[in-house]
Structure 1
Amino acid sequence: MLQGILPVLPTPFTAEGGIDAAAMARVTDFALGAGVDGVVFPGFASEVDDLTAAERAALLKVVVERVAGRVPIVAGASAASVAEAVGHAREAMGFGVSTVMIQAPKSVGAGFEAVAAFYRDIADAVPGLEIVLQNAPAPRGSDLKPETILEIVRGNPAITYVKEETLPSGLAISALIAGKPEHLKGVIGGGGARYFIDEYNRGVCGAMPAVELSDIHVTMDRAFRVGEIDRARELYMRTLPLLVIQANFRMAFTKHVLSRRGVLDNRVVRAKVPDMDAHDLAEIDAWLDAASDLMQAAAPPSMRVAGARG
């Protein structure tokens, strides 16, 4: 069962722009040290569109080795075609990862028949696969309607979860949970945890934010699950300013925070994200300092890098 905090891990790059396997191991260790309930790689927050198939596979292998069976792994297998998605799914299965997250490409459209056929062809080609159907908002996704998703899921037992992150997602999450067939194990929240409380109140089984605040998100999840809703709301309010900024700068924000926390030594990105100037960095750092009492005091020695910088 996927539940709780399942962060999407970023892709660390070297200063020269290549993938950094050692840093990938540190990021994975950081997530595990924060007490996460699973990890996701690669996803949109991993700059997946800017990775080659070989890079995706190499870094997924690092994640699998570092996790070593301690928590579930969801492998991203989204692609522009069925054949490519099948290739990614088979690669994940080869690493022992049987759960993959797939967003149907926009080229398929938003109609039931075409999208259902896309997922059905993948499931038929990879027996034993469990699929997380990712429903992303436009312009990246197709904004599938809840009734369309439910119809697709009912006809495809390989789809065992839906990650719903259209905007606003609340009504869609409620509709999916109310109408889910027995084989759909749960609905997972997206949107970078910016709508955490609403999603949890509506009954999601977990959330897939970025990783840089995982320790706080884990504490928030645990508070909610034991009925300490006021505590969960307090944590949500204290992290929300950071998540609002993260919505603008995406992976660059994540990597800056991980640099501040001693996990990465740079914030190199390949994705086209807005530049951050000194004012942006000062504002991020001020909010990080304001929430520092909620975070692990420091990265454990195995995660720490010398001379980490933002």
Structure 2
Amino acid sequence: MSPTNPVFIPISGVFPVLPTPFDAQGAPDVAGLRTLVRYLLSCGVDGITYPGVASEVGKLSVPERLELTAAVLTEVEGRVPVIAGVSSGDAEITIALAQAAVSAGATALMVADPPDRLTAQAQIAYFSQIAVAVPRATLMLQNVPLPVGAGLDPDVLLEILAAVPSIRYIKEETLPSGQRLSELLARGPASLVGVFGGAGGRYITDELRRGAAGTMPAIELAEVHVALFAAHRAGDHAKVRELFTRMLPVLNVQAVFRWSLTKYVLQKRGLIPCMKQRMPGPLLDGLDQADVDAFLTDIHDLLLPANQLSSSLGQVA
């Protein structure tokens, strides 16, 4: 993709949101982030998203976001599409992040609806400003619940879509996401290509049967999400339910512990050396970890084995 003349590339499937690994001092671990990119590629994901809420983006500085997004795009090297998260409450910062991501080769730009813009017209003004600054870039509006985003109702989203045709995708995370997804697909303008699910993949079966273009979960079970989406594409609905049911215990823990769960699983699997997180939130204690260990044992046959991970990542198991 030319940095100055990006073209529209349709996206669908599994686009996990990379976390941001930190070292023991709390600094971003760029090498660790690149390792996680290689893990996702080895899982066969359709694409990668970075940064997002699961990346602790709210605790990353603008220079860190620029450096880390560039590292992801460099490591991916065009092998799969990358959706770059460029959300900010400040339109000028969003535009700077967006222009840098497009120049580095991002396929699409994910922008959350700012919570302080309380009307459809205020949201339209914000997204229009971004669309003008990055002409022909593909935008994805991330409809995040308060307090991170505005949690917009479908009628408001449809008004924004009609006014800003550069928004080709919605990531719907305001609940009930399935019903909202159905309404957007039924009433959306021709410029709306697809709606993605998020929320850690906890509602993926409902979203897929309603026509979701894809899903953007956390990454700790990426190969299982890939297998589930492959079953969906093959029309094997029983397999979709089976895989979802087997993942559900881990997804339930992730709903509560978020970054702590993701980083614990990634460290347990030898993918990151440190579980340090910047975002506040509950941490797994010993009993929680024992539960997660048991859940991972229950699905070990669905995960890439340690020796295969070591080979694909260039690590020693």
The reply to whether residue 201 of structure 1 matches residue 209 of structure 2 is: yes
The TM-score, its normalising length taken from structure 1, stands at 0.96
The within-5 A match list for 1:180-199 is: 180-199=188-207
Deviation string for 1:2-55 (max 9, x for gaps)? 111000000011111111111011000001110000000000000001011111
Counterpart for residue 113 of structure 2: 104
The structural deviation recorded for 1:306 is 5.7
Counterpart for residue 310 of structure 2: 300
CA distance in 2, matches of 1:300, 1:224: 29
Counterpart for residue 262 of structure 1: 270
Equivalent residues of 2:39, 2:312 under 8 A apart: no
Counterpart for residue 170 of structure 1: 178
Counterpart for residue 47 of structure 1: 56
The reply to whether residue 64 of structure 1 matches residue 70 of structure 2 is: no
Choose the corresponding residue for 2:33, options 17, 24, 27.
Answer: 24
Deviation string for 1:222-244 (max 9, x for gaps)? 00111110011000000011001
CA RMSD in angstroms, aligned pairs only: 1.2
Counterpart for residue 76 of structure 1: 85
Counterpart for residue 11 of structure 2: 2
SS at match of 1:282: helix
CA distance in 2, matches of 1:190, 1:74: 14
Counterpart for residue 118 of structure 1: 126
CA distance in 2, matches of 1:57, 1:139: 24
The structural deviation recorded for 1:129 is 1.6
SS at match of 1:187: strand
The within-5 A match list for 1:238-277 is: 238-277=246-285
The TM-score, its normalising length taken from structure 2, stands at 0.94
Deviation string for 1:268-300 (max 9, x for gaps)? 100112121101111111101111111111213
CA distance in 1, matches of 2:279, 2:233: 35
CA distance in 2, matches of 1:11, 1:20: 8
The structural deviation recorded for 1:304 is 6.0
Equivalent residues of 1:262, 1:303 under 8 A apart: no
The within-5 A match list for 1:229-244 is: 229-244=237-252
For structure 1, which runs of at least 5 residues remain unmatched after alignment? none
CA distance in 2, matches of 1:140, 1:80: 10
CA distance in 2, matches of 1:122, 1:16: 35
Equivalent residues of 2:47, 2:81 under 8 A apart: yes
Equivalent residues of 2:91, 2:130 under 8 A apart: yes
The structural deviation recorded for 1:99 is 1.1
What's the % identity of the aligned pairs? 41
Amino acid in the other structure paired with 2:31: A
Aligned residues: 306
Counterpart for residue 95 of structure 1: 104
The runs of at least 4 consecutive aligned structure 1 residues that moved more than 4 Å come to 304-307
Deviation string for 1:186-207 (max 9, x for gaps)? 0001111000100000000000
